[in-house]
Amino acid sequence: MRFPVSRFQKHLEKEMLASVTGKVQETLDLLIKDKQLNHLQEYANIVSINRLGYNDHGPVHARMVARNSLDILNLLENKIETSLEEEKLGTFEDSTILILIAGFCHDIGMAMGRKSHERNSIIIGTEIIENILFKLYDDKNKALIYKAMVFEAILGHMGDFNVTSIEAGIILVSDGCDMSKGRARIPYVLQKKPTIGDIHKYSAMSINKVIIGPGDEERPIKITVDMEDKAGVFQIEEVLYGKVSKSSIKKYIHIVAQLKDGTELLYL
């Protein structure tokens, strides 16, 4: 069974691979080429969109979260230590690797349904995660610790599990930042009649893009949500802000809503 790969997905992959080097690039290459992982991502999307009427939880979303994570990491580098660095268990590069693995694997549990999909992502993704970590690290004890951190990031990406590491906090925010109209487009087009929860689709369709850029010295990350109208405020308040507020990197983030008329609303 083979699924078609969109041009946007290929663009994301090419963009990310060009932005990194060394072991991080090797990790990305392993994740992108992993056939089992790609099949699970595609099937998770079928369940999410076709069966449940949710937005994108497939390969494009996984890559968007991974890209968002790289953007956040670049803004935090040399400003704060990751948990691995602070605890002398690894390097910034190691933290980047673990975050990318979590980003690619965090939603594959949607293949089994929405409820507990964070835990289910771990259940069906354990072998994939272990294979990649054991290819990257000869020290198996270190790989086991890193697996636990990947699991924390996956388990915590909905904000229902209290994360403590910087790495897991980055995944939480990165996931919340993928909320533009592109992610909601397919379920929006497929919908034939009103359903409970439509506000999520209409709100997402009003968001043009989410920009992760430099903030100030105190808060080095500025997340700007560019939207057509105030319906997008729902996405900020119910999705993004909720995840940022529970993240270990909250104190480093500004959230700004930018309306079509140029008005800006500061949330953090």
**Could you tell me the CATH number of the domain that includes residue 11?**
1.10.3210
Residue 16 sits in the same domain as residue 105: yes
Q: Which of 149, 177, 205 is the last residue of a domain?
A: 177
pLDDT of residue 188: 42
pLDDT of residue 191: 47
For the chain, the domain total comes to: 2
pLDDT of residue 153: 98
In a domain, 170, yes or no: yes
Residue 128 sits in the same domain as residue 213: no
Residue 37 sits in the same domain as residue 169: yes
Provide the whole-model pTM: 0.91
pLDDT of residue 232: 83
In a domain, 2, yes or no: no
Over residues 67-87, the pLDDT tens digits come to 999 999 999 999 999 999 999
Q: Which domain holds residue 255?
A: 181-266
Q: Which of 122, 149, 177 is the last residue of a domain?
A: 177
Residue 200 sits in the same domain as residue 223: yes
Three-state helix/strand/coil letters over 39-83: HHHHHHHHHHHHHCCCCCCCHHHHHHHHHHHHHHHHHHCCCCCCH
Residue 85 sits in the same domain as residue 104: yes
Q: Which residue has the tokens 């349904």?
A: 113
Residues of the chain with pLDDT under 50: 182-191, 196-197
Residue 116 sits in the same domain as residue 229: no
pLDDT of residue 197: 46
- Return the amino acid letter for 25: Q
pLDDT of residue 48: 85
Residue 57 sits in the same domain as residue 168: yes
Cα distance between residue 135 and residue 18, in whole Å = 22
Residue 103 sits in the same domain as residue 133: yes
In a domain, 1, yes or no: no
Over residues 115-163, the pLDDT tens digits come to 999 999 999 999 999 999 999 999 999 999 999 999 999 999 999 999 9
